[in-house]
Every structure is written in C-alpha cells, then in structure tokens.
Chain A
Amino acid sequence: MQWTADEVHAEVVRLLEPFNPQSVDLQPETDLATDLGMDSVAAMNMVMEVEDRFEIDIPISLLPDVKTLQDLVDAVLAELSKKPAQ
C-alpha cells in the first residue's frame, strides 16, 4: 500500500500508545526519551513495531537521530520511499 505523510503520522501515533503509559499528548515535537521516558531498549523495541507495520527496516544506526515523533515519521517516510513500487 502507498502511505501518505498524514497516514504515516496517524499510524505512528497509534503504535506509540503502548509506550505511552502516562498518556502524554502526542505532538510532532514530542521527545521520545524525555517526554515519554523511553530508554534505549524500549525505543528499539518500539521501532520494531513500526518496522513490522510498514514492512520496512530502520537501521538502528540511525536511531540516535530519531529524537521526536516527527523524526520517527520522517524516518519511516524515508524508508518507504526506498521501497520498490508494488
């Protein structure tokens, strides 16, 4: 399936819910570590869920640059753009 940026954003927000026990209001600038309290392992596990949903791989070497929800959406869009057209 082809994803729009808005659809990716909405889906990432949905996938973040289990990692948001304090029900922080998820905005593009929400910081995954400081606002959601995610440690490095939780972040990698969350990214795995995102990878499965979009059928992509986000190399963990890129994760230090994924600080906010928007960074994550951008990383997903970048990987989706590399996928061959179905």
Chain B
Amino acid sequence: MDKIINVPINKEEARSLVAGEKLLLNGVIYTARDAAHKRMIEDYKEGKPLPVEMSNLAIYYAGPAPAKPGQVIGSCGPTTSGRMDLYAPQLMEWGQTMMIGKGLRNKAVIDAMKEYGAVYVTAIGGAGALLSKCVTEMSCIAYEDLGAEAIYKLTVKDFPVIVTIDSQGNNLYDTGKKEYSK
C-alpha cells in the first residue's frame, strides 16, 4: 500500500521514511537542475537572497518539456541526480529535507542526509507523461532565463515516488541489486 505524504516535510518526518517505501506526494515541490543549483550557490556567496525558503524544502531534479495549450505542464520526469551531488549537501545544511530524482548519489550527499535529516526519493526516469498528470499547478518563481532549467513551483497530487536512500543511509540501489543478482 502506498503511503500518502504531504510535502514539504520536516526533518523528523524525513527521518521516519524508510528505503523501499512507496509514497504518493501531495503538496508543493520546486524544480531545480544543475544550472539553478549553481546559481543559488553563487547568489548566496555574493550575498544575494535565495529564491526559495530552504527550510523543509523538497526539490525535484527536473526540467519539464513545454506545456501544450490546455496542459498544466509538459512531460516532467526526473533527471539524473548525481549531477547535483556537488551542491546538495549545502542545500541540506540550509534546511532541504527531500530530494526527488533518479540515479546514484555520492557519499558526501548520503553523509549530509544522515547529518541533517533528509531523504532521497526517486520517480521513474522516462515516465514524464505519466508524472505530468500528477502536477495540478505550475509557476516559474526564479531564474526564468534558464528556460526548462529555471526554478518552478509545482503543486502535486499523488505524485508517485520510491524512498531509495533514507536518512539512516539504507540504500535500495545496493540492497535491491544484491537481492536479484545471480
């Protein structure tokens, strides 16, 4: 049975999620890819305000396709999370509690998840059409010049994800592979 979760979540809620659990997310998440992460960190270094409230933030690593007339959002599956590994620990230090993406994370990210209380969940890579149906509102809130790579605020309903690495460091990529390797 899928667990229904209201996002954003706080650190305690993040720590309660366990690798292997299937979730349906409801609430607000923000998209950001490499370019937006890079700019947020540069902005911070230059003393500029950050474009979103970092506390309890849920970030979706995604760059949607353009919406067709009548659509809320175009296809919007996850991009490869590893490209954000360089930036993610800083964002968790600032308060981010959930990362939504696909693919492997490095040790620095997993260490930061344990330290700050954050969870890594994955959506199905390549299922952009299906996931677009779970987005009910979309608006660009920062870095509009980055196009698909800008920061978009998404309201999601029953957005399906799988807890892949939890805040204890349990990693479904490792345990899943072990279970089925012959």
Asked if chains A and B come from one complex, the reply is: no
